[in-house]
Structures are given as C-alpha cells and as structure tokens.
Amino acid sequence: MVLPTITRKESVILELLSGGQEKYGLEMVEASGGELKRGTVYVTLQRLEDKQFVSSRQEARPAPEVGIPRRLYQITSLGERVFAARQAADAAFSGSLIPVGG
Amino acid sequence: MKWLRAFFSHQFELSINRLGAFAVALVVTVATATALTVRHATGRPMSLTTILTVILLLIGMLWGLLQVAAYIDIVQSKKSPHRPPGSRLISFADFLFSKKINEQVFLPLVADWRTEYFEALKQGRTIKARWISIRYTHSFLLAMGISKVYSAFKGLLTLGRAAGK
C-alpha cells in the first residue's frame, strides 16, 4: 500500500489534532504559531476531510443563541495512522542523512 | 391625520424620511395656496392656466420629494450597521460554490469572523473590530480563490482518472 502524501500544512493540522481533542479552525490558527492562516485553514481542512483524515461536526448551541454555528474538527483513526507513518518516515529519512563533507 | 397615514401606507412603507418629505410638500402647498388667495382677494382674477400650472407644479414637487426620500431610505438601509459582517460575501460564495464547500469552508470562516468581531466590539475596541473585518475579507477572498483552484484541480484529476481507465 502506498503511503498517502500530505503537505506541510496538512501535517501541521494533523499534529495539532493528534491529541484526540476536538478543535476549532481559529484555535488551530492561533496554536500553529503563524504556520496556518485564516484564509487557508478551512480549505486545507476540507481537503483533509475529503481524504478522510479528519472529521467535523457543527457545535451544539444553546437555544437563545443565533448565528452561524462554528465547526469542530477531530482526527480520524486513518488520519492518526497516516500522521504516525509520516513522522516515522521523516525520522528515518533525517536519521539516514549523511552530512555534507562527512 | 389617520386617513393621511392610511393613504400613504397603502403605497409606501412610511418612514421618517418620507413623512419629512410630505411635511415639506404640505407646508409649500399651504403657503402657495395662501399667497394665491391673498392675490385673489386683491381683486386680480386668476386664469385657469395659472391654476392648472400651480397644481401640476405642486404635484410634481411632492412626487420628486417622495422619490428623493425613498432613495435616501434605500441608501440608509444598505448601510445598516445591524447587518452582521460577512453577510454579502456569504451570499456571493453561495452563488459561486456548492453547498458542501460553503458549509465546509465559508460558513466556519464567517463564524470565526463574527466571533472575533463581536468580541472586539464587546470590549469597546471599534478600530480593532474594523481591522478584523478587513483581515477576514482578505481571508475570505483568498479562500474563494484557493477553493476555485482546488476544485478545478480535483475536476481535472477525476477526468484524468476516468480517461486512464
């Protein structure tokens, strides 16, 4: 089986969600330290949902509150496996690198 | 004045602007009528043409004032501060993108926008709220551009796969 490719931004999102805790998009932007932007985070999350690495649901709101409900995101088991595999691949790759001139 | 209100509310939704325009027209009408009566009282007879011209002028003036007032109403309603931020952009995205993309990309973005915007307003930081709106408008337009490119790329990929089979 071929390891699915994930971009740097997708990897950052999976890392932030890897604790198993649900998060809002804005929370992820703030926690990423500038790696994720407000304009791109939801497009990336949509892509991750398409790949089934992430699932989402609308937040439950108490009755008197109105307006657009926010969305909560959670990593799926497939997403966790892909992220773990990606981390292992990164570690193996960086460990096998020979320094220039070494 | 009940009958007057009933008459106008039949054709227009009465507002302060329209009532104001009507009041100005009424004052001008009464003043003109008084002036004509005084002139008539001095003994000079008025011709029928003069009377008709004056009536037509008054009707035209009333109509013009009501049109200006209605226009001001439309402009003011468009600039209403009660409209939550991102409403127009959401309608625009609704027209351009599918329901799924709207639910996954644009609605959560606007929900964040409003959360930050109203939080800033609650703290009395109006300038920050405006800055948030500017920043999110830019983010929204960026998301629209990226979404279009992404959906076009996905479409091409599907076509490529279908052609490969």
Cα-flanking dihedrals φ and ψ of residue A74, to 5°?
A: -140, 145
Give the pLDDT of residue A22: 92
pLDDT, tens digit (0-9, with 9 covering 90-100), for B50-100: 777 777 777 777 777 777 766 666 666 655 556 788 888 898 888 888 898
CA closest to B83 among chain A residues: A67
What's the pLDDT score for residue A99?
61
Q: What percentage of residues in chain B have a pLDDT greater than 70?
A: 66
Chain B segment 72-101 residues within 8 A of A by beta carbon are 84, 101
Backbone torsion region of residue A75, taken as left when φ is above 0, otherwise alpha when ψ lies between -120 and 50, otherwise beta: beta
Measured CA to CA, the distance from residue B59 to residue B65 in angstroms comes to 10
* Minimum Cα–Cα distance from A28: chain B residue: B112
Q: Which residues of B touch A70 (CB under 8 A)?
A: 108, 111-112, 115
Instruction: Say if the Cβ atoms of A68 and B114 lie within 8 Å.
Output: yes
- Across chain B, mean pLDDT equals 76
Q: Which residues of A touch B (CB under 8 A)?
A: 24-26, 37-40, 42-43, 45-47, 49, 56, 67-71
Nearest CB neighbour to A42, from listed B109, B135, B138:
B109
The larger pLDDT score, comparing residue A37 to residue B160, is at A37
Ramachandran assignment for A6, one of left (phi > 0), alpha (psi -120 to 50 degrees), beta (any other):
beta
Average pLDDT estimate for B139-148: 83
Range from A8-17, B3-12, B64-73, B154-163 carrying the lowest mean pLDDT = B3-12
What mean pLDDT comes out for the span B100-112? Answer: 91
CB spacing of A46 vs B104 below 8 angstroms: yes
**B135 contacts in A (CB within 8 Å)?**
38
Judging by beta carbons within 10 Å of its beta carbon (0-12, 13-18, 19+), is residue B93 exposed, middle or buried?
Answer: buried
For A52, the 3-state DSSP assignment is coil
Q: What is the pLDDT of residue B75?
A: 65
B1 burial via Cβ count (<10 Å: 0-12, 13-18, 19+): exposed
**Which of B101, B112, B148 is the best residue to mutate to test the A interface, defined by the most A CB atoms within 10 Å of its own CB?**
B112
Q: Please give the angle made by the CA atoms of A74, A75 and A76, to the nearest 5 degrees.
A: 115
Note whether A42 contacts B105, CB cutoff 8 Å.
yes
| pLDDT per residue rounded down to tens, chain A (102 residues) | 666 788 889 999 999 999 888 999 999 999 998 899 888 899 999 999 999 999 999 888 776 667 788 899 999 999 999 999 888 888 888 776 666 554
Contact A68, A18 (CB under 8 A): no
Residue B102 has pLDDT above 60, yes or no: yes
